[in-house]
Copies of this chain bind each other. A is one copy, B any other.
């Protein structure tokens, strides 16, 4: 019997995933050359559907990498000569910062403790900063940066490039992509696909910066550079042989989401998030980890629990339901519940019924 995955990602596959996989096999897309018209049509379609879904402006290209982790590295190589600035509030925003240090960048972070959001008044971003790095949804702690805060960062730093990690929040996020020089996500979270593909959205300013760094003799990477991405993108090709099947299925899932309407998807996520937080606020043994409601993630809810998380996870497993443990030092006393489009209100209701039983046991 199959399980339902509310894990923080990889997570439940989108309901139409398997159908698109079968179609891709039937069309023999696994054998298709990435310099063929068949592939260019796939890329064009995925590009078009993601643009509609996320309202991405024509100033921005859409590129494919192996993972969001790879994109952390690529964006720092391509857009930062020396100075990056990082808002860190958990393990993943911290890893983005650590990669900047590994690449010998002069990286500065503004760190808040786990479970807290950012008070923009407190943050001083140095003048020499080339790229401000943000993580809208901290998958480790369940803290979200509100859309308007990201907007405000750009408005107050119009001449500094801003990038946003949307890994576990796209397509729920309503950020204004015209203000976001670069953003990215991976498909194994809210797009309900197996891992193996990262999506990088970057504007022409990012390209210009990369070209400028390259001209100055900086190492901006060997193949997945913005220069090489853009050159290939203009003909809907990729710098090297990509994960063709995943690019095809991502386009099909984005198309399905467009048929449903992104507002409908967002509203259902909001409804399910309300259910989770309502449960946690009423429960004896569970509380939302993030105090301020405006900083609570709608897509990855983190609950503090008095019952050891391993016991909860094991009980859920016997009912064919999976959630994630807390991350890092929070492993034992938190659970994380992904609230992605692949699960519906009824799935979430079922999970919360079991958690209610556990709470009352």
* A interface residues with partner B (beta carbon < 8 Å): 2-3, 5, 7, 9-13, 17-18, 21, 25, 28-34, 65-67, 69-70, 72-73, 76-77, 99, 102-104, 186, 188, 193-197, 217, 219, 221-225, 239-246, 322, 324
Contact = CB atoms under 8 A, between A and B. Distances in A.
How many monomers of this chain does the complex have?
A: 2
Contacts of A246: 196
B10 A186 contact: no
A42 to B, nearest CB: 12
Nearest to A8: B33
B244 A194 contact: yes
Contacts of A72: 222-223
Given A66-B243, A70-B223, A73-B223, 4 more contacts: A30-B193, A30-B194, A66-B66, A219-B219
Contact of A222 (B3, B28, B73): B73
Which has the most chain B C-beta neighbours within 10 Å: A10, A67, A222, A245?
A222
Kindly list the 3 A-B residue pairs having the minimum CB-CB distance in the complex, ordered from nearest: A30-B194, A196-B243, A66-B66
Contacts of A222: 72-73, 76-77, 99, 102-103
Which has the most chain B C-beta neighbours within 10 Å: A221, A241, A242?
A241
- Chain A interface secondary structure, helix, strand, loop or mixed? loop
Nearest to A73: B222
B34 A10 contact: yes
A245 B26 CA distance: 18
Contacts of A10: 30-34, 241, 244
Nearest to A26: B2
Contacts of A17: 30
B223 A69 contact: yes
A34 B243 contact: no
Contacts of A9: 241
25 contacts: A3-B28, A3-B31, A5-B31, A7-B33, A10-B30, A10-B31, A10-B33, A13-B28, A13-B31, A18-B25, A29-B194, A30-B188, A31-B194, A65-B66, A69-B239, A69-B241, A72-B223, A73-B222, A102-B222, A104-B219, A194-B243, A194-B244, A196-B245, A196-B246, A243-B243
A31 B18 contact: no
A286 to B, nearest CB: 22
A104 B341 CA distance: 44
Nearest to A3: B28
A324 B34 CA distance: 12
A327 to B, nearest CB: 10
Nearest to A342: B31
